[in-house]
Amino acid sequence: MDRRVESLSVEPGEEEVAGWGRHPVGRGRVERPERLALPAGAEPLVPRGLGRAYGDAALPSRPGGLVLETTRADRIHSFEPATGRLHCEAGLSLAEILRVFVPRGWFPPVTPGTKFVTVGACVACDVHGKNHHRDGSFGSFVDHVTLCTADRRLVECGPDRERELFLATLGGMGLTGLIVDVTLRLRRVESPWIVLETQGMASLDAMLEGLRLSATHWPYTVGWIDCLARGADLGRGILMRGRHATQVEAGTRRARRAMPLRVPFDAPEWLLNPVFVRWFNRLYAWSHGTALRRRVVSYDAFFYPLDAVGQWNRLYGRRGFLQYQCVLPRAAGPRPVAALLERLGVAGAASFLAVIKDCGPASDAYLSFPMEGTTLALDLPNRGAVTEALVHDLNATVIEHGGRVYLAKDAVTRAEDFARMMPRLAEWRAVRERWDPGHRFRSAQSVRLFGDAPA
């Protein structure tokens, strides 16, 4: 606890910089320009969007390092109503895209579990969503990216030009250049509503089978599972599948104005204790039962339930939390998924609920996270060395079965472990060296995983 307080002694002109998990915490000189450009000189910097990456992806490489926050560069250059092509600055958020374009019948083609992310970050993390099994990741809908490279040149890249740079930029965590502009294709929707079906699942096998069967007919699928259920109940949870409602299904319903909720201060660490979480998860499962339910919900309720509670990350107390997300290849079967859940059960690492989802084929991008198989995401309250050890343990299982972890969530994975997870890491490094030999784009994460010098 005291170690953290010490690290917070922020110099003038600097501020505290942390990911959404609030661990680790760094400090940096944060610039928030309204027009994106690289400063003259060669000082290392890290681009940052809305700070929703959980770990150290958008933390400066050294205390007091330069952070370029893109959120004020949020202008739309053009929108083609015939095709849904949106050309915009990288700091535009999905929340703003939704606010402006949903009333006109357009939706982001891929969205992560929060709408408070910038388009630039969606590219840099090659984010995925509940439709990955059908549509792939964000990069599949990106026609073209304008980068400001380390030498301050503007370079256009896309599937058909500077393709290697494009593939290194998708999922490249902002380390190939500053993403200035993006062209993406929005999806046509008939209404802002989602037809949602939910069904209780009694076991992991049932959940995986439910996801598999739903995948053929439903564009969006996901499961919530109770990580604390053990034995025969392992993997128990609720399967959710959704699709955009037609105008007829939506009818005349009007959006209700949500009550703005916000966690006002850091919760005490005993709040999310294993007993409380166990009972919460049981109640959540019981309250649903095993029946199939069908209803029409708002897109906010379906895609962004946690966005309704501002600063929900404070629930984990001042030491913050680690989010762990991995994917295991389909070929490995359900066993390693069960092994991970069992390991978490033994550790008693209280997580509210874990998210499980089947992914479709991997993209060509070198560091893109998803691969055909099953992904699991869960929160681990930060208890220091114990929690880190647990992550390394989970990673060992993931590596053994040919899986990988998601850099947008990661804060502690070791460089050697990450190298074992990413078969195309060397190709990515080669492209990065070509465009940024001095590693001007550098983060706490790239120091940890790619061996960059801190300063």
Q: Given the rule CB under 8 A, which residues bind other proteins?
A: 13, 31-35, 72, 75-79, 100
Q: Least distance (Å) from other proteins to the CB of residue 143? A: 16
In the complex with other proteins, which residue's Cβ is closer, 33 or 348? 33
Q: Least distance (Å) from other proteins to the CB of residue 66? A: 13
How far the first Cα of the chain sits from its last, in Å, is 26
- Cα 99 to Cα 75, 92, 131, 132: the distances in Å are 14, 11, 21, 23
In the complex with other proteins, which residue's Cβ is closer, 77 or 392? 77
Q: Least distance (Å) from other proteins to the CB of residue 221? A: 32
In the complex with other proteins, which residue's Cβ is closer, 31 or 164? 31
Cβ pair 23, 319 in contact under 8 A: yes
DSSP-derived 3-state class of residue 218: coil
Q: Least distance (Å) from other proteins to the CB of residue 397? A: 44
Q: Least distance (Å) from other proteins to the CB of residue 182? A: 14
Cβ pair 281, 226 in contact under 8 A: yes
Rounded distance, CA 430 to CA 357, Å?
A: 32
Taking Cα atoms as reference points, which of 53, 165, 166 lies closest to residue 118?
Answer: 53
Cβ pair 392, 414 in contact under 8 A: yes
Q: Least distance (Å) from other proteins to the CB of residue 34? A: 5
DSSP 372: S
Q: Least distance (Å) from other proteins to the CB of residue 299? A: 19
Structure tokens belonging to residue 417: 């472990």
In the complex with other proteins, which residue's Cβ is closer, 154 or 415? 154
Q: Least distance (Å) from other proteins to the CB of residue 18? A: 17
DSSP 38: P
Taking Cα atoms as reference points, which of 366, 376, 446, 380 lies closest to residue 405?
Answer: 376
In the complex with other proteins, which residue's Cβ is closer, 105 or 333? 105
Rounded distance, CA 30 to CA 35, Å?
A: 15
Half-sphere exposure of 260 (CA within 13 A, CB side): 3
In the complex with other proteins, which residue's Cβ is closer, 101 or 141? 101
Please give the single-letter amino acid code of residue 243.
R
In the complex with other proteins, which residue's Cβ is closer, 68 or 376? 68
In the complex with other proteins, which residue's Cβ is closer, 103 or 231? 103
In the complex with other proteins, which residue's Cβ is closer, 34 or 400? 34
- Cα 177 to Cα 63, 183, 448: the distances in Å are 21, 16, 19
- Helix crossing, 385-400 with 335-347: angle to 10°? 170
DSSP-derived 3-state class of residue 254: coil
Q: Least distance (Å) from other proteins to the CB of residue 76? A: 4
- Cα 433 to Cα 168, 429, 437: the distances in Å are 11, 6, 4
**DSSP H helical ranges for 115-267:** 119-124, 132-135, 163-169, 204-215, 247-250
In the complex with other proteins, which residue's Cβ is closer, 159 or 311? 311
Q: Least distance (Å) from other proteins to the CB of residue 331? A: 45
